[in-house]
Structure 1
Amino acid sequence: MTRFLQCGYVVLTPYGGSQRYDLVIENAEGQFWRIQCKTGWIEHGAVYFDTANHNVTGKKRDWRHYQGECDYFAVYCADLGQVYLVPVDQVGKTRAHLRIEPSKNNQEKNVRWAKDYEL
């Protein structure tokens, strides 16, 4: 929330607990976006984060993605002290990553660079 406020957004929090988003932001033009907050971690030169939550019932594990239920992921990576704003419809349905280092094979095509999503 703090980073959104520093960037000049109005931040709203939903009442109750049944929404599939953690907060709503409003920009200067009056547009609203639903935000799901996620924690990112560093592995293999990238910031990884879950794009679904899992409900565990007994031995069954169901993944529920957020597509259509929120607009952006706000991914906080404590190791970098950075927040990334990632559109929900640009990532997969269970996990995603943002590159912070070049891949070992130097692939550039279809790479999501973390710097492009910094808030």
Structure 2
Amino acid sequence: MSERSERFASLEEPQKRGQAAEAIVKSECVSYGISVLVPAYDNESYDLVADIDDDFYRIQIKTAFEATTDGAVRFRTRSTRTKSSGYEREGYEGSIDLFAVYAPVCDETYLIPIEDASKTQMTVRYERSKNNNVKNINWHEDYLFDEVLPSLGSNPTT
């Protein structure tokens, strides 16, 4: 586990982990020269907007947790709000363009187009499964930040 992952894991409050994931994603954007716009209020469905080659992308930031199977991480693709009448769960279709996902278990950041994400949660595999299944797998290398970025029209410099 990387030093950053260990520090992330030591954060006890979910809000702090969320803030740390947002900072990690913003840092990735800035390191590629991408301008980041942050909503003035916390009631938008997206956490930031990235200006990539004069195109704007609404991004919802998520933290991936270790999946129930080894070698994979999972994140929720719905928003959950607490209301006096109970929980309200809502999808992001039509209100975001990308999920930016920080996976502390492998210290990776993914960019996932909303169209690639399932309705409730998504699993990303960073190691082969024990049964060697390769069908219908979301492989981490297909969603790594620096792999997806060029397809969005950016010309990042490393």
TM-score (norm 2): 0.68
SS of the residue corresponding to residue 34 of structure 1 reads: strand
How much has 1:77 moved relative to structure 2?
1.2
1:38 counterpart residue number: 62
Q: Is 2:122 aligned against 1:96? A: yes
1:4 counterpart residue number: 29
SS of the residue corresponding to residue 15 of structure 1 reads: coil
TM-score (norm 1): 0.89
Cα distance between partner residues in 1 of 2:62 and 2:86: 23
How much has 1:82 moved relative to structure 2?
1.3
Q: Superposition RMSD on alpha carbons, in Å?
A: 1.6
SS of the residue corresponding to residue 33 of structure 2 reads: coil
Cα distance between partner residues in 1 of 2:34 and 2:105: 24
Residues 101 and 59 (structure 1), Cα distance of their counterparts in 2 relative to 1, 3 Å cut: farther
SS of the residue corresponding to residue 30 of structure 2 reads: helix
1:83 counterpart residue number: 109
How much has 1:41 moved relative to structure 2?
1.3
How much has 1:92 moved relative to structure 2?
1.1
Cα distance between partner residues in 2 of 1:35 and 1:64: 16
Cα distance between partner residues in 2 of 1:74 and 1:117: 9
How much has 1:103 moved relative to structure 2?
2.5
How much has 1:58 moved relative to structure 2?
5.7
Is the 8 Å Cα contact of residues 63 and 94 (structure 1) preserved in structure 2?
A: no
What is the aligned residue count? 118
Q: Is 2:90 aligned against 1:64? A: yes
AA in 1 matched with 2:37: L
Higher strand residue share? 1
Residues 103 and 69 (structure 1), Cα distance of their counterparts in 2 relative to 1, 3 Å cut: same
Q: Which runs of 5+ in 2 are unaligned?
A: 1-25, 146-158
Percent of paired sites with the same residue: 36
Find the partner of 2:131 among 84, 94, 105.
Answer: 105
Cα distance between partner residues in 2 of 1:54 and 1:21: 14
How much has 1:59 moved relative to structure 2?
7.0
Cα distance between partner residues in 1 of 2:134 and 2:33: 33
